[in-house]
Amino acid sequence: MKHLVTVGVDGSPESRAAAVWGAQEASLREVPLRLVHVIDWPISPAVPRLDCKTADRWADEALAEALEDVRRRHPNLEITTRHLSGRPAAALAVEAADADLLVLGSRGLGGLLGFLVGTVGTPTLVATETPVTLVRAADEPEDAAPTRYGEVVVGVDIYEAPDKVLAFAFEEAALRSCALRAIHSWQLPRAYRSFPDVDPDYEREARRNVTQMLDELLRPWRRTFPSVSVDQVALMGPAGPHLVQASEGADLVVVGRHLRRSPLGAHLGPVAHAVLHHAAAPVAVIAHD
C-alpha cells in the first residue's frame, strides 16, 4: 500500500471542504495527497444536453479549483490529480485501495445528491476496507495557519473492541497532539428495563463493571500511545445520540462498521448511520471484522 490520502472531488462546496481537510490530514501524516474526480459514465439520460466534452470540462475545472485551493494552503505538499470515468462509488473504492485514507464531502442531512445519503457515499463506504472520512462544508479549515486541535472522539464497544478502530483513533489523536475521548454506551438487560423500579444497587454494580472493562480495554493502548491524554466515559443509553452530542466541538469522530456484504444492499449499522447523519464534526468510518 502506498502512503497517501485520496480525496474525491466534484466541484461542490462539500468536496472542496473535503479536499482542504484531506490536505491537512496528508500534511499531518507527511504523505502525498491525491485528488480524484470521477465522471459518472455512462451519463444519465436524466441530465439533458450533457455531452462528453462538457463533462470533461467540468471535471478539469473541479480538479483545477481544488488543486489551486490546496496548493495555496499547503505549498509544500505533494499533490497529484486523477480524472476518471465510470460509476463513482466503484471508481472511488478502487482509488481507495492503495491509500491510507479516503476523504469524501458530505451534505449531512441533505437529499439524494449528497455523498452521505446518496448514490456515492454509502456504496463507497461499504465497498472499501480503507478508512473513509466524511467532511461537510462547515468543517473546512479557514486557512493554512497552524491549527489548535481539541479532541478526537471514538465510539468503543467493549465486547468487540476492534483493534482497527482504536488504532485509528489513537493515531489520529497522536498526530494532532490532542486528547482522545473514548465513549462506550451501555444499557441494562431488556428484562430489567421492563420494570420501572430497578434495584439501584444492581445499576451501580453494572456501571462499575462496565467502567472497569472499558479501563482494562484501553490500558494497553494508553501504554502504546503515552502522549495521548484519554478521557474514557461509560454512558447509559444508545450509542448514537451520545456520540453525536460529543461531536460538538470535536475535531473528528471515529466509528466502526462491520465488514458485511449482503445481496440486499449496503449496511452501515445503526450507530454509524446515526453519527454520519447528525455529527457536528468530520466522521471517520473504520471497517473491521
CATH of the domain at 175: 3.40.50.620
- Residue 24 counted as domain residue: yes
Reduced to 3 states (helix: H, G, I; strand: E, B; else coil), residue 118 is: coil
Beta bridge pairs of residue 230: 180
How does pLDDT run across 126-147, given as a tens digit for each residue? 888 999 999 987 655 655 445 5
Number of other CB atoms surrounding residue 226 within 10 Å: 8
Round to whole Å and give the CA distance between 287 and 289.
7
Q: What is the pLDDT of residue 60?
A: 84
Closest CA to 259 of 227, 219, 286: 286
The cell numbers describing 7, all together, are 480525496
Place of cell 478508512: 131
What's the pTM?
A: 0.87
The answer on 177 and 135 residing in a single domain is: no
Q: What is the DSSP letter of 251?
A: S
Number of domains forming the structure of the chain: 2
Q: What is the pLDDT of residue 192?
A: 61
Q: What is the pLDDT of residue 116?
A: 40
The answer on 261 and 155 residing in a single domain is: yes
How does pLDDT run across 104-125, given as a tens digit for each residue? 988 654 433 333 444 566 778 8
The answer on 128 and 34 residing in a single domain is: yes
Domain end residue (candidates: 115, 139, 163): 139
- Residue 146 counted as domain residue: no
- Residue 145 counted as domain residue: no
Closest CA to 141 of 133, 129, 149, 130: 149
Q: What is the pLDDT of residue 114?
A: 34
The answer on 183 and 227 residing in a single domain is: yes
Angle in degrees, 0-180, between the axes of helices 163-176 and 200-224, rounded to the nearest 10 = 60
Which ranges of the chain have pLDDT less than 70? Answer: 1, 41-52, 55, 107-121, 138-148, 189-199, 260-267
Domain end residue (candidates: 139, 173, 202): 139
DSSP assignments along 197-265, one per residue = S--HHHHHHHHHHHHHHHHHHHHHHHHH-TTS-EEEEEEES-HHHHHHHHTTT-SEEEEEEE----TT-
How does pLDDT run across 256-283, given as a tens digit for each residue? 988 765 555 556 778 888 898 888 899 9
Q: What is the pLDDT of residue 150?
A: 84
Q: Which residues contact 95 (CB under 8 A, 6 or more apart)?
A: 6, 8, 34, 36, 82, 84, 102
Residue span of the structural domain in which 24 resides: 5-139
